[in-house]
Chains A and B, each alone.
Chain A
Amino acid sequence: MSGNAKSSADGAEIHDRGYRRYEGARSGVVGAVRSLVWQTIRSILGLGRPARHKVFPVIVVVIAALPAVVFLGVALLFRDLGDDSLVNYSDLFGFSVAPIMIYAAMVAPEALVRDRRDGMFSLYLSTPLTRPTYVAAKALAVLAVMMIIALGPVLLALVGYTVVGDGPDGVVEWFKVFFRLTAAGLVISAVLAAVSMAGSSVTDRRAFASVAVILVIFGGAIVSSILVDAADFSNTYALLDPMGTAGETATRILGESPEQGGSVSELSDIDTGVVFLGTAAWFAAGAGIVGYKYRKLEAT
């Protein structure tokens, strides 16, 4: 009850309506991007909302982390088995393929489609945000959430192995592994974030965006595996699988090719350069669609 409440001598009163003019500092574009990133992450994960909104994201993260936990348990229980009991990191990435796909189908549709459908996009453009900064903020948020599911489990494994005493030898080696893991997780997240955002740019229904994303990722995986495995097409066709291509890139980054005890895939025989090119192509295609759609999008 400050300045706005007024009263006269006869006891009549006008109550303070609580209106406050904002007089604090204004944080400009950086602040706008920062808060848009954070609010987007909150809405995707259901933070600050009732528990039922958090159920789904949490279940999927738990499922993604399960293999890492199981292997950690094995490592802990059978310490004397030696290095054979350890799973390699590219396999760990492989175990969470389904959770990563589900996140890709969930994350960008939640981040992008809702804003267009209920007019928030236009509202954001009336703030210091522009189209490029808006899309960049959304991309950062999507990437951050994808990193949780893509990188979380492997980092958990790394930390776990280290605690158990099976981690990389020496501090330098440890950081080498850590950075390779991060780079690998970043590549997978970036490719799927691009595909996810592309799918979310083409339709104004969240449900349909999710389906579009899943059709591209899951469908691409199945089509490429049929072409290569069943029909004996050249292994290069495996690049039609965005998830597999990004995963193979991760394997190369980790330096876990089959000769080094890594996992085998249809892409194992392909040149590293070609694999990287395929990954870059998927990323560029997704980003290109997003850029094109958002340049043309009308703000009402």
Chain B
Amino acid sequence: MSGSVSGLRAIVIAHRLLVRQLVTRGRIAALLVVGIVVSLVVALVSRAVGEDESTEEALEVGIEVMSNLGFTIVVPIVALVFASAAFGDLKEDGTLVYLWLRPMDRWPIVVGAWLATVSVSLPVTLVPLTVAALIADVGSELVWATVLACVVGNLAYSAVFMLLGLLTKNSVVWGIGYILIWEGLVAGISGVGEKLAIRGYTRSIIADQTGVDLYLGDLSLMTAIVVPVLVILAAFVLSTLRLRSLDVA
């Protein structure tokens, strides 16, 4: 009667299950508010700056706003909300067993969970940030840079925070610690730090695409894409190992 589930099927199933669990009205509403605030701030700023400054300066201000508001807070925090909940909520509720005790390999569950996280959190960040970049109206470079950096950042943060959700019970607090202390303090210290923080890569993409110099944004586009991909793969491997050795309630 029952058989085993192929890797691809398992990915689809895990994805479907987790999207359903992750999308709650409260979360979406709260994050929508965040998105609207972001767009609003960008609109206010760009209008204020556009009145009396040159275009080049307006672009610089737009980039600064985008990288500060968008890429130090919106992108990582939204990814944190959903990615840490992917396995974190199931573990907390005691429902992980309905995914764990199945004739499925562990890696497709991990990949499916990551895809679920991404398919919820990417739209929630990409749409408001792109809208914000469009409102800023400082040239198509910023729009394109925002889209690319947002995608890379979201995918990488999601993988890392999903792993965090498997490793610790209090994953959101650890995630906030990572964002504020590691990315905010430690990685800001020297030229080495930026390579050890996802923020360094998103900022580099923005700097590269817009041609504007950005603090902590000196990496090449190639590096800024390849390294996050490697980070994602590493997070997959570790998550799979962790899921295998986990004590399920």
Contact = CB atoms under 8 A, between A and B. Distances in A.
B37 A63 contact: no
Contacts of B73: 215, 218-219, 222
Interface in B178-218: 180-181, 184-185
Contacts of B44: 227, 231, 233
Given A230-B64, A230-B65, A218 B180 contact: yes
Contacts of A125: none
Interface stretch (A202-210, A247-255, A277-285): A202-210
Contacts of A286: none
Contacts of B61: 230-231
Interface string A231-266: 111000000000000000000000000000000000
Q: How large is the interface on A (under 10, 10 to 19, 20 to 34, 35 or more residues)?
A: 20 to 34
A208 B24 CA distance: 12
A56 interface: yes
Most chain A Cβ neighbours within 10 Å, of B27, B72, B180: B180
Interface string B58-91: 0001001100110011000100110011001100
Q: How large is the interface on B (under 10, 10 to 19, 20 to 34, 35 or more residues)?
A: 35 or more
**DSSP class of A's interface residues: helix, strand, loop or mixed?**
helix
B45 A227 contact: yes
A210 B181 contact: no
A207 B84 CA distance: 9
Contacts of A219: 34, 37, 73
A212 interface: yes
A101 B180 contact: yes
A215 B173 contact: no
Contacts, number: 95
B41 interface: yes
A211 B65 CA distance: 21
B9 to A, nearest CB: 30
A232 B37 CA distance: 18
B181 A223 contact: no
B41 A226 contact: yes
B1 interface: no
A98 B26 CA distance: 27
Interface in B36-55: 37, 41, 44-45, 48-49
Interface string A39-70: 00000000000000000100110010000000
Interface of A: 56, 59-60, 63, 98-99, 101-102, 105-106, 109, 203, 205-208, 210-212, 214-215, 218-219, 222-223, 225-227, 230-233
Interface of B: 26-27, 30, 34, 37, 41, 44-45, 48-49, 61, 64-65, 68-69, 72-73, 77, 80-81, 84-85, 88-89, 170-174, 176-177, 180-181, 184-185
